[in-house]
Amino acid sequence: MNTNKIFARAFNFFRHWKVRENRVTLIEKLDTGGVGSLFDIQKECERRGLPLSFHVIRHSDYEVSLRNLPGLFALFTKKAYYMATSAHIFLNDNFMPMAYMDIASETTVVQLWHGMGSFKKFGGSTELEPELLAELKQVNENVTHILASSEHIRENYAEAFCVPEGKVLAIGCPQADYYFRKHNVQAIREHLEQQFPQLKGRKLALYAPTFRDDEQRDRELLSHFDFERFERECGDEYCLAVRLHPQIQSSKVPEQVPNLTGWPDVRELLLATDLLIADYSSIAVEYSLLERPILLYAFDKKWYLDQDRGFYYDYEETAPGPILTTMDDLCASVRQQSWDIGKVRAFARLHNDYFDSQSARRVAEFYFPPGCMGAEAAPEGADTFANEENQRKEKIQNMKIIAGLGNPTDKYKGTRHNVGFMAIDKLSEALGIAVNQHKHKAMTGSGFIAGQRVLLMKPLTYMNLSGESIRAAADFYKVEPEDILIIYDDISLDPGMLRIRKKGSAGGHNGIKSIISHLGCDTFPRIRVGIGGEKHPGQDLADYVLGHFSGEEKEKLDEALENVVKAAELIAMDEIDEAMNRYSVGKKKRAKKNEEV
Indicate which CATH number applies to the domain containing 35: 3.40.50.11820
Of 177, 194, 225, the last residue of a domain is 177
Q: Do 88 and 29 sit in the same domain of this protein?
A: yes
Q: Do 425 and 529 sit in the same domain of this protein?
A: yes
Classify residue 378: in a domain, yes or no.
no
Q: Do 516 and 477 sit in the same domain of this protein?
A: yes
Classify residue 203: in a domain, yes or no.
yes
pLDDT in tens, 260-294: 998 989 999 999 999 999 999 999 999 999 999 99
**Amino acid, single-letter form, for residue 395:** K
Q: Do 519 and 552 sit in the same domain of this protein?
A: yes
The domain in which residue 327 lies consists of: 182-351
Q: Do 209 and 146 sit in the same domain of this protein?
A: no
Q: Do 170 and 195 sit in the same domain of this protein?
A: no
Task: Quickly list DSSP for 324-364.
Answer: E-SHHHHHHHHHHT---HHHHHHHHHHH-S--SS-HHHHHH
CB 116 within 8 A of CB 351: yes
Confidence of residue 414 (pLDDT cuts 50, 70, 90): confident
Q: Do 133 and 187 sit in the same domain of this protein?
A: no
Classify residue 369: in a domain, yes or no.
no
pLDDT, mean of residues 48-65: 91
Classify residue 367: in a domain, yes or no.
no
CB 124 within 8 A of CB 90: no
Q: Do 156 and 301 sit in the same domain of this protein?
A: no
Of 317, 351, 385, the last residue of a domain is 351
For residue 381, the model assigns a pLDDT of 45
Which residue intervals of 309-462 are DSSP H helices?
315-318, 327-336, 341-351, 359-367, 385-396, 419-431
Confidence of residue 392 (pLDDT cuts 50, 70, 90): very low
For residue 593, the model assigns a pLDDT of 40
pLDDT at residue 539 is higher than 80? no
Catalytic machinery residues: 417
Q: What angle do CA 424, 425, 431 make, to 5 degrees?
A: 85
The order of strands in the sheet holding 294-297 is 238-242, 203-207, 275-278, 294-297, 323-324
Q: Do 188 and 173 sit in the same domain of this protein?
A: no
pLDDT at residue 544 is higher than 80? no
Alpha-carbon gap, residue 87 to 48, rounded angstroms:
18
pLDDT at residue 391 is higher than 50? no
Classify residue 390: in a domain, yes or no.
no
Alpha-carbon gap, residue 127 to 140, rounded angstroms:
17
For residue 305, the model assigns a pLDDT of 83
CB 511 within 8 A of CB 471: no
Phi and psi angles of residue 368, each rounded to the nearest 5 degrees, phi first: -135, 70
Q: Across the strands, what pairs with 174?
A: none
For residue 1, the model assigns a pLDDT of 62
Cβ neighbours of residue 61 closer than 8 Å, sequence gap 6 or more: 68, 71, 72, 74, 75, 79
Classify residue 332: in a domain, yes or no.
yes
Of 162, 177, 192, the last residue of a domain is 177
Question: What CATH number corresponds to the domain at position 551?
Answer: 3.40.50.1470
pLDDT at residue 383 is higher than 60? no
Classify residue 433: in a domain, yes or no.
yes
Classify residue 383: in a domain, yes or no.
no
For residue 65, the model assigns a pLDDT of 87
Q: Do 173 and 273 sit in the same domain of this protein?
A: no
Is 0.75 surpassed by the pTM of this model?
no
pLDDT, mean of residues 104-129: 92
Q: Do 458 and 550 sit in the same domain of this protein?
A: yes
C-alpha torsion 346→349→355→360, nearest 10: -140
Task: Please provide the average confidence, as pLDDT, over all residues in the chain.
Answer: 88
pLDDT in tens, 455-513: 999 999 999 999 999 999 999 888 999 999 999 999 888 888 999 999 999 988 999 99
Confidence of residue 430 (pLDDT cuts 50, 70, 90): confident
pLDDT, mean of residues 396-422: 86
pLDDT at residue 12 is higher than 90? yes
Confidence of residue 543 (pLDDT cuts 50, 70, 90): low
Question: What CATH number corresponds to the domain at position 231?
Answer: 3.40.50.12580
- Supply the Cα-derived Rg of the chain in whole angstroms: 27
Confidence of residue 587 (pLDDT cuts 50, 70, 90): very low
Domain count, the chain: 3
pLDDT at residue 44 is higher than 60? yes
Q: Do 406 and 457 sit in the same domain of this protein?
A: yes
Q: What is the H or E stretch that residue 528 is in?
A: strand 526-530
pLDDT, mean of residues 553-581: 92
Between the CA of residue 50 and those of 107, 361, 369, what are the distances in Å?
A: 18, 13, 10
